[in-house]
Amino acid sequence: MPDPITTALALSGAIGSAAKVANTPLFKTFIDGITGFKISQWAAEGEVRKKLILDDYEKAKNSGIIGIQYISALRELTNLINTAVKSSKYVIPDKPNDIKMDNDFFWNTIEHSKSISNEEMQELIAKIIAGEYNTPGTYSMSTLQIIKMLGKNELELFERICSLLINKVQIPEKLFSLSDYDRDFIVELQIGFSKFQALQSLGLFLPSDMGRKIKNPKKETFELTYFDKIFLFIHENENYLVIDIPRFYELTMVGKQILKHLNPQYNDKYYAWLKANYKVPNYKILE
């Protein structure tokens, strides 16, 4: 069974952090109501409150109530407050409360935050709560269902794989073909097709690859982007009036929403791979 003293101290620490943002709209409107007390008042009575928590635990244990249930409740409260503290950084200052009681996404995400102790996952959920608070209707319940399936490892994998996105939302299918597999940056990033498929199964990428043909009767140039790098393709066949975009995997709507809150990194080796291997029939990259 978790140590009740450690659990009480963790909650006390969360309250201490929350005291600095206790007067923000998010806390005054929601968190105080959910916890059942004013954060600022709890912080002012910290030592007294810690003793009350421990006394309540002893009473619960001695009266036959399973102690771990009580400690689990304290843990949930701590997670909620820690996530709310993180979320307060992203809420628009003095933004009035526009959240309605029927906003199932917001309320269920608040509830889900009680079960998350990992710092990285708390940070993601905090940003999403703030985004919905700032602009109600930003997210759908499908977003929450996918977030519930994400753990720390899946989130980190998604961030790494997103370092390979071109045009902000696409992964070239050719990247995963064995004949063109560049092991250097793939191995360094600890990714591969099986891991990519795991993210597909979670709903972050569309389930199948796709291509795209774009009519180009005026033989205009077109661009491919990788972070701030731009590849400019120019026409080199007078009789070919179509841009035949190589097959790719694309982020889902939820994948795009979550990516906005992550920080994938530019990869110089991948940039070099793109220059050497990304081919568009009848077009060439302008050096």
Query: What average pLDDT does this structure show over 174-185?
Result: 72
Mean pLDDT of the chain: 87
Surface-to-core class of residue 99, CB atoms within 10 Å of its CB (0-12 exposed, 13-18 middle, 19+ buried): middle
Tokens 């498929």 belong to which residue?
Answer: 197
With cut-offs at 50, 70 and 90, classify the pLDDT of residue 228: very high
* CA 93/CA 110 separation, integer angstroms: 20
Tokens 């099986």 belong to which residue?
Answer: 194
> At residue 3, does pLDDT exceed 70?
no
Instruction: Calculate the alpha carbon distances from 29 to 5, 13, 150, 199, 209 in Å.
Output: 30, 22, 28, 36, 45
With cut-offs at 50, 70 and 90, classify the pLDDT of residue 61: low
pLDDT at position 29 is: 81
> At residue 5, does pLDDT exceed 70?
no
pLDDT at position 241 is: 87
pLDDT at position 184 is: 82
* CA 249/CA 191 separation, integer angstroms: 15
Query: What average pLDDT does this structure show over 172-196?
Result: 81
pLDDT at position 79 is: 93
Q: Is residue 108 within a helix (H) or strand (E), and if so which, with residue range?
A: helix 104-113
> At residue 4, does pLDDT exceed 70?
no
Token reading at 103: 């906003």
With cut-offs at 50, 70 and 90, classify the pLDDT of residue 154: very high
At 78-120, the pLDDT tens digits run: 999 999 999 999 999 888 888 999 999 999 999 999 999 999 9
> At residue 193, does pLDDT exceed 80?
yes
Judge contact between 241 and 209, C-beta under 8 A: no
At 13-58, the pLDDT tens digits run: 888 888 888 888 888 888 888 887 787 777 777 677 767 777 776 7
Query: What average pLDDT does this structure show over 257-265?
Result: 95
C-alpha gyration radius of the chain: 25
The residue length of the chain stands at 287
At 269-283, the pLDDT tens digits run: 999 999 988 999 998
Lowest mean pLDDT among 37-41, 124-128, 179-183: 179-183
Residues linked to residue 170 through DSSP beta bridges, in sequence order: 166, 250
pLDDT at position 232 is: 95
| 169 vs 31, higher pLDDT | 169
Percent of the chain past pLDDT 90, that is, above it, reads: 53
| 35 vs 163, higher pLDDT | 163
Q: CA 61, 67, 68 angle in degrees (round to 5)?
A: 175
pLDDT at position 158 is: 97
The phi and psi torsions of 252 (rounded to 5 degrees) equal -80, 175
pTM score, two decimals?
0.86
pLDDT at position 15 is: 81
Token reading at 55: 């006394």
